C-alpha cells in the first residue's frame, strides 16, 4: 500500500466531484418559472413579473442572453472527456404576424457569458460575421430557428439543429416529433404557433452523441429524438463552461420565452413542474381554429344585430308611447292619462275598437287595464300649442261637470300634434243611429224618445244655468247625443270650442257647429251663446 494507493480514491473522488459540479457545488438545477431566479441576463433578456424568462421583448434587431451564473466543469478531469449531460426547457415563441417570425432561440454551452461582439438577427446572438464557425469559439448550441438563412444552409424556416462554433448546423430537421408507441410516424409542429413546447438536449459521453428532441408541452419525451448527431464535444467544450440561452430578433418583431429549465450532469434533466409554469401572454397572433374563425364573426354579428334590434325596439317603444308634457300640467296631473295606458286599453288603437269617426277625429273604445273602466278615447289632431294651457284647463274644468245627462270627460293626454280626450263609454252609442234607422221598425218608442229629449234639455239647462260657469255646447245634434246603458240621453262633446277654434281642420276652424242646426246670428256673426244652443236644440227636436 503506497501513499498513491491511499490517495488515488481521494484524488479520483475529488476529480469526479470537481468535474461534475459547478462552482457552487451543484450538478443539477431546475426552474419551473423564473420568479427570483439568479440568472445573468443581458440585452433584451428579462424575467417578467409573471416569472417568464423573456429573451427578446418584441423590439427588432436585438439580442438577449440568459446564463446560469456559475460555470460548470463538464469534463471528467482537467483535459478529460466531457461527461454526459441533459438539458430540458419549456419555450414559446410569439409573433406579430401569423406566419412570420425571426429568428429563434439557442441553448448554449460556451466558455464565456460575454457575447457583446455577437450579432442579432440570423446570428442569434451567438457569433458574428468574422468568428462564425471558428473552432476557437468553443461553443456548442442547439438551435430552434424560425428563419431560413441560405448563408447557413438552413433547411427551412421551422427547424431544429445542432450547432458547433457557429450557426451552420451540422445536423438539423424540420420541427416536429416522432410519436411514441403505436404511431411512430413524424408529426410536424409549427414553432411560431404560439403554443408552449418542450425541448430536450442530451449528450451521451460513451457514444459522443448529441440528441435534440421537441414535443408539445403535454406530451412525454418522445423516445426517438428529432435530431441526432455524433460529435465528440470533448474537442469543443472548455474546462469551465457556462450554460444558458441566446436569442435574437431580426426585422420582424417576435418574442422568445423560456418558461422552465432544468439541467443535470450524468443524469436525465430534473423534472420541470409543468402544471405551475407561468402562462405565455397572448398576442392574438395564435392562428384560430376553423370553428372559431366561423363562429367568432357569426357571434359578433349576432351580438351587434341583437344590440341594434334592442336599440330599435327601445327607440320605437319610446316613440310609440312618447307624450308631450309640460310643467304647467303638473296641477292637472290626475286628469292626465298616459298614452301607454290608452294604447293598451284600445289594443293599439285597433280598428276593431273604432266606435265612429267624427268631424275632428276617430273615437275608440277602450278598457283601462288597471281600473277595468270602459272609456271612449277620441284622437284629435292638433298642431297648435298656442292656447293649449287654457284649453287643458278647460278640459280639466269640464271634467268636473257631472250630470246624468252629460257624458263625463274623464281626462286627456297630449302627444306631438295630437290630443286625446277620454270620455266615459256609452254602451248604446249615439242617437243618430236610431233615428236614421231604415228597414225594420224602430227600437225607440215614444216613451223612450220623450225621456231622451227631456234628458237632453235637462243636460243643456245644467250647462247653461246650473253649473258654476256658463258652458256653451255649440254643437247640439243627434250624433252628439249618446245613450247610456239605461237608454238615458246624454249630451257629449260640450264646451270644447276653444280646441276647435285652434283646430287644424280648415273647414271648421272658425265655424263650430253643424249646418242646419246653427242659429242665423251664429252663421252671421260666428258668436255662440246659450241661445244659439237653444236654437240648435229646437232644430234637433223635430228630427226626432
Ligand X SMILES: *[C@@H]1O[C@H](CO)[C@@H](O)[C@H](O)[C@H]1NC(C)=O
User: Which phi and psi angles does 230 have, rounded to 5°?
Assistant: -105, 120
- Dihedral sign for Cα 451, 457, 463, 465, please: negative
SS3 at position 39: coil
Q: Which does 430 bind (CB under 5 to 8 A by kind): ligand X, ligand ADP, none?
A: ligand ADP
Q: By CB under 6 A, which span of 92-100, 244-252, 305-313, 422-430 interacts with ligand ADP?
A: 422-430
Shortest Cβ distance from residue 316 to ligand X (Å)? 44
The angle, 0 to 180 degrees and rounded to 10, between the axes of the packed helices 446-461 and 530-540 is 170
Shortest Cβ distance from residue 146 to ligand X (Å)? 10
- In the complex with ligand X, the residue whose CB is nearer, 133 or 268, is 133
Cβ distance 140 to 233 under 8 Å?
A: yes
Shortest Cβ distance from residue 283 to ligand X (Å)? 12
Query: Which positions ≥6 away from 483 have C-beta within 8 Å?
Result: 426, 427, 428, 429, 430, 431, 434, 452, 489, 490
Among 68, 425, 462, 494, binds ligand ADP (CB under 6 A): 425
Nearest to 61 by CA among 192, 284, 254: 254
- In the complex with ligand X, the residue whose CB is nearer, 237 or 518, is 237
Give the cell for residue 285: 397572433
- Dihedral sign for Cα 387, 393, 396, 397, please: negative
Cβ distance 56 to 164 under 8 Å?
A: no
Among 34, 391, 423, 540, binds ligand ADP (CB under 6 A): 423
Site track for ligand ADP across 360-399, x = CB under 6 A: x--x------------x-x---------------------
The verdict on 138 binding ligand ADP (CB under 6 A) reads no
Nearest to 502 by CA among 357, 342, 394, 356: 394
The verdict on 410 binding ligand ADP (CB under 6 A) reads no
Nearest to 505 by CA among 354, 353, 351, 358: 358
Q: Which does 409 bind (CB under 5 to 8 A by kind): ligand ADP, ligand X, none?
A: none
Q: Which does 407 bind (CB under 5 to 8 A by kind): ligand ADP, ligand X, none?
A: ligand ADP
Residue 475: active-site member = yes
Cβ distance 91 to 257 under 8 Å?
A: yes
Is there a cis peptide before residue 74, judged by omega within 30 degrees of 0? no
Residue 61 backbone zone (phi > 0: left; psi -120 to 50: alpha; other: beta): left
Shortest Cβ distance from residue 302 to ligand ADP (Å)? 48
**Which residues contribute to the site for ligand X (CB under 6 A)?**
44, 57-59, 62, 81, 99-100, 114, 116-117, 131, 134, 136, 183, 185, 187, 208, 232, 234-235
The verdict on 408 binding ligand ADP (CB under 6 A) reads no
Q: By CB under 6 A, which span of 69-77, 120-128, 316-324, 351-359 interacts with ligand ADP?
A: 351-359
Shortest Cβ distance from residue 235 to ligand X (Å)? 6
Query: Which positions ≥6 away from 278 have C-beta within 8 Å?
Result: 33, 34, 48, 50, 51, 52, 259
- Residue nearest to ligand ADP according to CB distances in the complex: 358
- In the complex with ligand ADP, the residue whose CB is nearer, 167 or 363, is 363
First to last CA, the chain: 154
Among 482, 491, 518, 528, binds ligand ADP (CB under 6 A): 482
The residue with cell 426517438 is 224
The residue with cell 410536424 is 188
The footprint of ligand ADP on this chain (CB under 6 A) covers a number of residues equal to 19
Query: Which positions ≥6 away from 292 have C-beta within 8 Å?
Result: none
Among 344, 358, 461, 521, binds ligand ADP (CB under 6 A): 358
DSSP per position, 200-257: EEEEETTTTEEEEEEEETTSPPPSS-SEEEE--GGGTS-SEEEEEEEEE--SS-EEEE
Q: Which does 360 bind (CB under 5 to 8 A by kind): ligand ADP, ligand X, none?
A: ligand ADP
Pick the catalytic residue: 163, 475, 493, 533?
475
Cα–Cα distance between 296 and 9 in angstroms, integer? 70
Cα–Cα distance between 295 and 288 in angstroms, integer? 11
Q: Which does 423 bind (CB under 5 to 8 A by kind): ligand ADP, ligand X, none?
A: ligand ADP
Site track for ligand ADP across 484-513, x = CB under 6 A: --------xx--------------------
Radius of gyration of the chain (CA): 50
- In the complex with ligand X, the residue whose CB is nearer, 100 or 457, is 100
Shortest Cβ distance from residue 185 to ligand X (Å)? 4
Among 41, 62, 388, 426, binds ligand ADP (CB under 6 A): 426
Q: By CB under 6 A, which span of 9-17, 72-80, 409-417, 418-426 interacts with ligand ADP?
A: 418-426
Cα–Cα distance between 461 and 491 in angstroms, integer? 11
For the annotated catalytic residues, the residue numbers are: 475
Q: Which residues bind ligand ADP (CB under 6 A)?
A: 355-356, 358-360, 363, 376, 378, 407, 423, 425-426, 429-430, 479-480, 482, 492-493
Amino acid at each position: 500500500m503506497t501513499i498513491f494507493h491511499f490517495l488515488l480514491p481521494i484524488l479520483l473522488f475529488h476529480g469526479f466531484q470537481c468535474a461534475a459540479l459547478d462552482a457552487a457545488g451543484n450538478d443539477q438545477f431546475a426552474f419551473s418559472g423564473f420568479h427570483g431566479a439568479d440568472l445573468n441576463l443581458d440585452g433584451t433578456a428579462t424575467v417578467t413579473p409573471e416569472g417568464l424568462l423573456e429573451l427578446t421583448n418584441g423590439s427588432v434587431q436585438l439580442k438577449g442572453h440568459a446564463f446560469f451564473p456559475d460555470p460548470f466543469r463538464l469534463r471528467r478531469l482537467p483535459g478529460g472527456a466531457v461527461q454526459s449531460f441533459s438539458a430540458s426547457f419549456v419555450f414559446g415563441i410569439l409573433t406579430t404576424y401569423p406566419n412570420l417570425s425571426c429568428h429563434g432561440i439557442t441553448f448554449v454551452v460556451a466558455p464565456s457569458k460575454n457575447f457583446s461582439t455577437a450579432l442579432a438577427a440570423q446570428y442569434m446572438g451567438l457569433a458574428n460575421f468574422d468568428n462564425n464557425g471558428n473552432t476557437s469559439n468553443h461553443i456548442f448550441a442547439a438551435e430552434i430557428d424560425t428563419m431560413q438563412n441560405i448563408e447557413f444552409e438552413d433547411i427551412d424556416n421551422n427547424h431544429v439543429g445542432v450547432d458547433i462554433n457557429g450557426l451552420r448546423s451540422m445536423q438539423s430537421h424540420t420541427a416536429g416529433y416522432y410519436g411514441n408507441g403505436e404511431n411512430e410516424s413524424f408529426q410536424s409542429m409549427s414553432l411560431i404557433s404560439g403554443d408552449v413546447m418542450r425541448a430536450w438536449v442530451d449528450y451521451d459521453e460513451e457514444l459522443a452523441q448529441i440528441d435534440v428532441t421537441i414535443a408539445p408541452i403535454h406530451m412525454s419525451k418522445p423516445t426517438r429524438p428529432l435530431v441526432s448527431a455524433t460529435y465528440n464535444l470533448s474537442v469543443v467544450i472548455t474546462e469551465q463552461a457556462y450554460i444558458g440561452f441566446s436569442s435574437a430578433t431580426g426585422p420582424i418583431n417576435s418574442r422568445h420565452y423560456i418558461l422552465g429549465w432544468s439541467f443535470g450532469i450524468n443524469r436525465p434533466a430534473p423534472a420541470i413542474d409543468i402544471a405551475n409554469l407561468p402562462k405565455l401572454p397572448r398576442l392574438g397572433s395564435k392562428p384560430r381554429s376553423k370553428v372559431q374563425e366561423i363562429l367568432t364573426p357569426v357571434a359578433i354579428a349576432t351580438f351587434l344585430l341583437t344590440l341594434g334590434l334592442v336599440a330599435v325596439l327601445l327607440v320605437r317603444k319610446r316613440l310609440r308611447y312618447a307624450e308631450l308634457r309640460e310643467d304647467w300640467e303638473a296641477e292637472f296631473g290626475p286628469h292626465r292619462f298616459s298614452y301607454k295606458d290608452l294604447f293598451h286599453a284600445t289594443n293599439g288603437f285597433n280598428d276593431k275598437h273604432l266606435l265612429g269617426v267624427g268631424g275632428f277625429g276617430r273615437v275608440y273604445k277602450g278598457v283601462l287595464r288597471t281600473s277595468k273602466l270602459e272609456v271612449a278615447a277620441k284622437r284629435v289632431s292638433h298642431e297648435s300649442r298656442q292656447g293649449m294651457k287654457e284649453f287643458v284647463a278647460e278640459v280639466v274644468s269640464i271634467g268636473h261637470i257631472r250630470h246624468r245627462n252629460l257624458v263625463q270627460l274623464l281626462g286627456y293626454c297630449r302627444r306631438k300634434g295630437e290630443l286625446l280626450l277620454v270620455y266615459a263609454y256609452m254602451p248604446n252609442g249615439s242617437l243618430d243611429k236610431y233615428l236614421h234607422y231604415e228597414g225594420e221598425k224602430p227600437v225607440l218608442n215614444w216613451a223612450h224618445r220623450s225621456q231622451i229629449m227631456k234628458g237632453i234639455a235637462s243636460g243643456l239647462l245644467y250647462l247653461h244655468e246650473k253649473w258654476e260657469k256658463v258652458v256653451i255646447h255649440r254643437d247640439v245634434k243627434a250624433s252628439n247625443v249618446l245613450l247610456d246603458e239605461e237608454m238615458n240621453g246624454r249630451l257629449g262633446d260640450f264646451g270644447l270650442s276653444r280646441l276647435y277654434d285652434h283646430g287644424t281642420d280648415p273647414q271648421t276652424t272658425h265655424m263650430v257647429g253643424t249646418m242646419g242646426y246653427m242659429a242665423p246670428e251664429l252663421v252671421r256673426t260666428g258668436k255662440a251663446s246659450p241661445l244659439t244652443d237653444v236654437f240648435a236644440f229646437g232644430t234637433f227636436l223635430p228630427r226626432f
